[in-house]
């Protein structure tokens, strides 16, 4: 057992990791921003902490590993720079690296029209709220408020939720300094379950899943997992959560992953 893991992680989490590591085929799924990478003001500058990147490269030799993010999957790959073998789930569960090229969910004409309208309405909102910005994804449009004055950020969030988020057919997710408006249903929980099912269909069943996330958008992933069946849920940082365990920050995530990689390579 890693001395540092015992010193840093709560005893209940260390015990859960040991039980999880002792199972056969397991999946370790992780949000990226705020989990592997500290939160940064410029999203494209986010990178995994070196210790976490090293632990992932070790862990993927013995374990199924996935990154499950709200980011577009191409953007996720560019920032996360995952080692070979790590699967990616992007767009809040709407994109997967297991999809065939050109496969996966596609928008119909009505959904595409809705997505274009969402982008236009957020553009107008951003023009009236300095410091905010819009990100366009294949199936959603996102308001970012992290760089804005706090009063402006609150006003912009309120306007997005009262305006474009309330349009018929819109699926809204509110996260830390973001409001994401989807033209299709969004949710990391559904994406995680689809990934687990796809992995099992291609080989042995996945016996248990560990998921770590920091944002309110990660709560539906925590909700679909079952601790009584061996799943492990880890909240990163403060805030109310459904998760069964907690670590303080990405540095403690690196300790968790390093410890788990060592446990999984031990005969």
- Contact between 20 and 230 under an 8 Å Cβ cutoff? The reply is yes
Q: Residues 28, 66: contact at Cβ < 8 Å?
A: yes
Tell me, yes or no, if 72 is annotated catalytic.
no
Of 7, 31, 214, 226, the catalytic one is 31
Q: What is the dihedral of CA 107, 192, 144, 184, to 10 degrees?
A: 20
Beta bridge partners of 127: none
| Full 3-state SS string of the chain | CCHHHHHHCCHHHHHHHHHHHCCCCEEEEECCECCCECCCCCHHHCCCCHHHHHHHHHHCCCCEEEEECCCCHHHHHHHHCCCCCCEEEECCCCEECCCCCCCCCCCCHHHHHHHHHHHHHHHHHHHCCCCCEEEECCCEEEEECCCCCHHHHHHHHHHHHHCHHHCCCCEEEEECCEEEEECCCCCHHHHHHHHHHHHHHCCCCCCEEEEEECCHHHHHHHHHCCHHHCCEEEEECCCCCCCCEEECCHHHHHHHHHHHHHHHHCC
Instruction: Give the catalytic positions in this structure.
Output: 31
């Amino acid at each position: 057992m890693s001395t540092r893991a015992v010193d840093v992680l709560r005893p209940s989490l260390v015990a859960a990791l040991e039980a999880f590591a002792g199972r056969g085929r397991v999946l370790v799924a992780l949000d990226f921003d705020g989990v592997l990478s500290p939160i940064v003001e410029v999203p494209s500058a986010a990178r995994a902490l070196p210790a976490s990147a090293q632990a992932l490269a070790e862990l993927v030799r013995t374990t199924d590993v996935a990154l499950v993010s709200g980011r577009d999957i191409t953007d996720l790959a560019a920032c996360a720079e995952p080692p070979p073998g790590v699967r990616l789930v992007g767009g809040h569960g709407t994109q997967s690296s297991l999809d065939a090229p050109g496969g996966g969910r596609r928008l119909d004409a009505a959904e595409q029209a809705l997505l274009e309208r969402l982008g236009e309405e957020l553009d107008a909102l951003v023009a009236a709220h300095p410091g905010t910005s819009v990100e366009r994804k294949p199936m959603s449009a996102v308001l970012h408020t992290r760089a804005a004055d706090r009063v402006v950020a609150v006003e912009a969030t309120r306007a997005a939720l009262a305006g474009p988020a309330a349009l018929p057919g819109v699926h809204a997710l509110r996260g830390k300094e973001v409001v994401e408006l989807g033209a299709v249903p969004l949710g990391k929980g559904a994406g995680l379950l689809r990934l687990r099912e796809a992995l099992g269909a291609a080989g042995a069943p996945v016996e248990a899943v560990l998921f770590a996330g920091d944002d309110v958008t990660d709560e539906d992933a925590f909700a679909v997992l079952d601790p009584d069946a061996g799943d492990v849920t880890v909240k990163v940082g403060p805030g109310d959560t459904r998760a069964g365990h907690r670590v303080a920050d990405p540095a403690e995530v690196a300790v968790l992953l390093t410890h788990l990689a060592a446990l999984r390579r031990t005969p």
